[in-house]
């Protein structure tokens, strides 16, 4: 796996969403000093090659556990963004001892509905027929808050660059993996590590109420909703995200 490493201290593992890569964490990774920060590209994304054959979100979690092994890290606080949150749930399910805390950001516990599964198939068809540029044009308005779209051209450019640099085979494999992923809702009541749920107030893909309900189902989870943030809160509002997460991390030590 390609991985970016910074700093020393207790480990903080950043798990990106779809169709992104580790650079989505660039700003928050630069500012959350005092932690050993670990930001990989998941298989099939960024600089990590796409393996042949199908894989699952649980495979991403196994990759993350193997990455922690390779780095000699026993436990990490895991910050999962959207699909990265799906992987964080699987890491908790299968490698519970490795998870010291969870930051569940712009993500959901429920599996895909039949309608969401159909949308995955349409996205696969779009990628096959029209490629990554078309995927970018389709997804960017849904990923970012209206205020980011109009006032943050550098953020729009960064998201477009991540999407258009993607390997279509990796993106298609990830769409299959997300379509088949397990429902993590039954897991929520058993989450016994410190947890922070972060929602974007203008997230068009995960309504704030859905994120709040997920937090309510996790014993002792904290909940925060960030204004002027869409589906990519750490990228759109890095200062607010860093502040929230720094406070959460300080409460752990
Ligand atoms: C993501 O941001 O990772 C995706 O929106 C997740 C999804 O498509 O379910």
**CA-nearest residue, atom 4 of ligand 1:** 18
- Specify the pLDDT at position 19: 98
- Specify the pLDDT at position 20: 98
- Specify the pLDDT at position 253: 74
- Specify the pLDDT at position 184: 98
What interhelical angle do 114-143 and 153-164 show, nearest 10? 130
For the record, the structure tokens of 93 come out as: 């399910």
**CA-nearest residue, atom 6 of ligand 1:** 83
Q: Who contacts 150 (Cβ-Cβ below 8 Å, separation ≥6)?
A: none
- Whether 154 and 23 have beta carbons less than 8 Å apart is answered as no
Task: Give the count of beta carbons closer than 10 Å to the beta carbon of residue 142.
Answer: 11
- Specify the pLDDT at position 103: 99
Pocket test for ligand 1, best of 14, 15, 16, 18 (most atoms within 8 A of CB): 18
Which residues lie with the beta carbon below 6 Å from any ligand 1 atom? Answer: 17-18, 82-83, 178, 205, 231
Low-confidence ranges of the chain (pLDDT < 70): none
d(CA 119, CA 123): 6
- Whether 171 and 162 have beta carbons less than 8 Å apart is answered as no
From 65, 18, 15, select the one nearest 41 (Cα to Cα): 15
d(CA 253, CA 243): 16
Q: Tally the C-alpha atoms within 13 A of residue 139's C-alpha that lie toward its C-beta.
A: 28
Phi, then psi, of 223 in degrees rounded to 5:
-130, 140
Nearest ligand 1 atom to alpha carbon 81: 3
Q: Tally the C-alpha atoms within 13 A of residue 200's C-alpha that lie toward its C-beta.
A: 29
From 82, 72, 97, select the one nearest 14 (Cα to Cα): 82
**CA-nearest residue, atom 9 of ligand 1:** 83
Q: Which residue matches tokens 């590590």?
A: 193
Nearest ligand 1 atom to alpha carbon 232: 2
Q: Who contacts 58 (Cβ-Cβ below 8 Å, separation ≥6)?
A: 90, 93, 94, 182
Per the DSSP assignment, residues forming a β-bridge with 196 are 103, 222
Q: Rounded to the nearest whole angstrom, what is the distance from the C-alpha of residue 17 to the centroid of ligand 1?
A: 6
């Amino acid at each position: 796996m390609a991985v970016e490493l910074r700093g020393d201290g207790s480990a903080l593992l950043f798990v990106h969403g779809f169709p992104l890569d580790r650079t989505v964490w660039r700003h928050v990774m630069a500012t959350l000093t005092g932690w050993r920060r670990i930001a990989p590209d998941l298989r099939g994304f960024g600089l990590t090659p796409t393996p042949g054959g199908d894989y699952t979100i649980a495979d991403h979690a196994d990759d993350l556990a193997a990455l922690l092994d390779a780095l000699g890290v026993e436990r990490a606080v895991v910050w999962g963004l959207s699909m990265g949150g799906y992987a964080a749930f699987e890491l908790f399910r299968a490698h519970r001892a490795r998870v010291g805390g969870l930051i569940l950001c712009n993500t959901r516990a429920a599996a895909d509905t039949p309608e969401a599964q159909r949308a995955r198939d349409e996205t696969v068809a779009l990628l096959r027929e029209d490629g990554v540029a078309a995927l970018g044009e389709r997804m960017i308005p849904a990923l970012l808050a209206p205020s980011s779209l109009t006032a943050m051209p550098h953020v729009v450019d960064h998201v477009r660059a991540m999407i258009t640099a993607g390997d279509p085979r990796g993106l298609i494999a990830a769409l299959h993996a997300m379509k088949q992923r397990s429902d993590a809702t039954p897991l929520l009541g058993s989450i016994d590590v410190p947890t922070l749920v972060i929602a974007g107030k203008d997230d068009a893909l995960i309504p704030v109420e859905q994120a709040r309900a997920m937090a309510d189902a996790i014993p002792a989870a904290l909940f925060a909703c960030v204004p002027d943030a869409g589906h990519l809160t750490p990228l759109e509002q890095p200062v607010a995200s860093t502040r929230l997460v720094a406070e959460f991390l300080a409460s752990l030590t």
